[in-house]
Structure 1
């Protein structure tokens, strides 16, 4: 039986790592605690000085004001529509493309796959002018479709699903063919259920990216009723000290982050698996 090394040097090293991790954790959580503190303070007190964050009393009036604000809920709904729409679209298209690249034979397959991978190296800013003009021609600005479409082509998603499909033994396909299953039936009924870990990973990352996206909604959504939460909250920062106040702005930020926190809580196992590379394995 293998014995564990619990020497004093080993325990001291672990304690040092623990305290380093604890300090880094406090530093990372400090801005979050600051925003939460702002959201729980009366705006009149914050106008006198932000040091009031560290003193009682606290209040939920800023969150009550959010519930009464139709604009914030409208931005929230827009963000949900865009994030869910992008997630579903990316999962569907990436799964189909990944299956084709991994299991089917067609002309220029390897060349097309390399071209897709080049998409990982092209920044969004490099194509923003052409994209803006194209969406303007088709009158897609200030629409949910216009906010969803640009990010449906995910080079990372295609790569991830291709690698996962390649890891599945081809004997499964052959067994399904013996049962007279069509190509689409093999994909939909046999192989796709086996890729749930990769789909969960891709879905989480796509949702978080879509929810936090600022660049394209800033350009495409020019009407207030089409703002996503990121754009809506940013637009209210220009005159927050004179109108809503720091507390209300902090409450908006906390409210906007709730879906992200919920996703992390319920899908943290898949996130850890994705970061460690377990999804592809």
Structure 2
């Protein structure tokens, strides 16, 4: 075997890409560092100028005041219920629909799948009036159910799970049928575990969307005790004169982002696996 030769130009290119990646990471992290810095500063110091964020001292007073505010924890609970409920519902419905479209044969399968994909092209704003009237008739406004149900119709989730189920080799179905495996057990015990990377990816995207959603909770939740974190923090910002200052609002933003960061850290391995196409080996 001939010895491997190293080209200086290739090494320089790698170093350049590494430096570029580091610069992009710094740019991406700058807003996060800024908001964390604001949350650690005294509100009186920030009233003199936000450049005080670069100078000592720092304080945890804003987080102490946040913990003492029961209203924020109520908003946090609402966001958690909505995000978890919507994520679970989307995973269940998208997995079932994806398995049907990807592995089963039934009349008008292609036509129905195309109709589902049309949902990707319809903006939420186009149906907001009809949805508001329907939920008002059902009495679902200012309820957790009313905040969860609209997010369960995920055309992207159905498309993603359909593609992953189609990628599973047909031999697995044939082997299971030879063992007289019932259809639901085939789906639950054989097929579904193979799509774990896709489910993790879809679950994270759904959780992020539900947690950060502002449009529908702003319309449906009119009582303050039913606000989600996004609507609650926004209401504090619009009433800034009665709030406790910029540092306290920044502490609220950091507090609201923690679940998102934790979820991503726990499941980032599955996202990488799904994106790299390693769902089915």
Name the TM-score class by shorter chain.
over 0.9
The answer as to whether partners of 1:201 and 1:279 remain within 8 angstroms in 2 is no
1:28 counterpart SS class: helix
Q: How does 1:99-110 map to 2 (within 5 A)?
A: 99-110=99-110
Map 1:15-94 → 2, pairs under 5 A: 15-94=15-94
How far has the Cα of 1:173 moved from its partner?
2.4
8 Å Cα contact 1:198/1:280 also seen in 2: no
Give a deviation string over 1:155-197, Cα, whole Å, max 9, x none.
1111111111112223322333333332222212222122212
CA contact 1:76–1:228 (8 Å) conserved in 2: yes
Q: How many Å apart are 1:272 and its aligned residue?
A: 2.3
Unaligned runs of 5+ in 2: none
Q: Please, which moves more after superposition, 49-58 or 265-274?
A: 265-274
- 1:241 CA drift (Å): 4.7
Shift in CA distance, 168/280, structure 1 to aligned 2, threshold 3 Å: closer
Structure 1 counterpart of 2:111: 111
SS class of match (1:237):
helix
Which position in structure 2 is the counterpart of 1:139?
139
Aligned to 1:223: 223
Residue deviations 1:233-278 (CA, integer Å, cap 9, x gap): 1111013254210000000000000011111211111222344444
Are 2:194 and 2:279, in contact at CA under 8 Å, matched by a contact in 1?
no
Moved more, 96-105 or 6-15: 6-15
* Residue in 2 that maps onto 1:180: 180
Q: Give the match for residue 190 of structure 1.
A: 190
- Counterpart CA distance in 1 for 2:2 and 2:210 is 48
8 A contact 1:47–1:241 mirrored in 2: no
Q: CA RMSD in A?
A: 1.8
- For residues 143 and 107 of structure 1, the distance between their equivalents in structure 2, rounded to whole angstroms, comes to 38
Matched, 1:158 2:158: yes
- Aligned partners of 1:44, 1:50: CA distance in 2, in Å? 10
**Larger deviation, residues 44-53 vs 138-147:** 44-53
Unpaired segments ≥5 residues, structure 1? none
**Stretch of structure 1 that moved more, 172-181 or 160-169:** 172-181
TM-score w.r.t. the length of structure 1 is 0.94
Three-state SS of the structure 1 residue aligned to 2:240 is coil
Structure 2 CA distance, aligned partners of 1:2 and 1:160?
45
TM-score by length of 2: 0.94
SS in 2 for 1:236: helix
Q: Aligned pairs, how many? A: 281
